[in-house]
Amino acid sequence: MKAIVLSIFLMLGVSLAAQTSAEGYFNSGAKDFIHSEIEKATATIDEGLKKYPNDEKLNSLKRKLIEEKKKKDQQKKDDQNKKDQENKDRKKDQDQKNNDQNKDKKDDQNKKDQEKNKQDNKENQKPEQPQPQPQVGQMTPEQVKQLLETMNNEEAKTQKKVNAQKVKGKKVQQEKDW
């Protein structure tokens, strides 16, 4: 048990010692950067730069972190602008839909008003004059319609008779030569 506790303390001591060199700060910051923990990596690199301000690796990683942070900030702005534009488009579509519905309602109301006006006009008009009698030799539309129906019925009867005459006789089964 004592050996396990001692080995744990040794590992902690080694990791703390590694952290105290510029290389340790660089490795820790790079690991955080790779895992997309930009804020944590920046804090680690800043701490290393306080102790080792002239270290080339730490300074280059700091520049890289600044660039990455700018990219992420720009991407957030772009995403926000895109969301804002989508919201504007959605609102515009909704407004257009509402306008269309209102227009439909107005059109329906106008049609109802027109129908009402027609009915009111009919009621206010003088009584209708009797239909003029057809002249001798002319037929009324009702008479024409009745005549056409009668002709169609006669045509159907004639077609039935012709078809019935065609069917007379038995079907002859022919033998095939092949």
pTM score > 0.85 for this model?
no
The CA-atom distances, in angstroms, between 27 and each of 21, 48, 50, 62 are 10, 11, 16, 13
CA distances from 160 to 23, 147, 164 (A): 107, 20, 6
What is the structure's pLDDT at 98? Answer: 85
Taking only the tens place, the pLDDT of each residue in 67-83 is: 988 998 999 999 999 99
Query: In which band, very low, low, confident or very high, does the pLDDT at 176 lie, cut at 50, 70 and 90?
Result: confident
The predicted-structure confidence for 133-165, as pLDDT tens digits, reads as follows 656 678 888 988 999 999 999 999 999 988 887
Q: Which of 63-67, 143-147, 166-170 has the lowest mean pLDDT?
A: 166-170
What is the DSSP track for 34-99? HTT-HHHHHHHHHHHHHH-TT-HHHHHHHHHHHHHHHHHHHHHHHHHHHHHHHHHHHHHHHHHHHH
Q: What is the per-residue pLDDT across 91-111, written as a single tens digit (0 to 9) for each?
A: 888 888 888 888 778 777 877
Token duo for residue 51: 């102790």
* pLDDT tens-place string over residues 14-59: 555 555 688 988 999 999 989 989 999 999 999 999 999 999 998 9
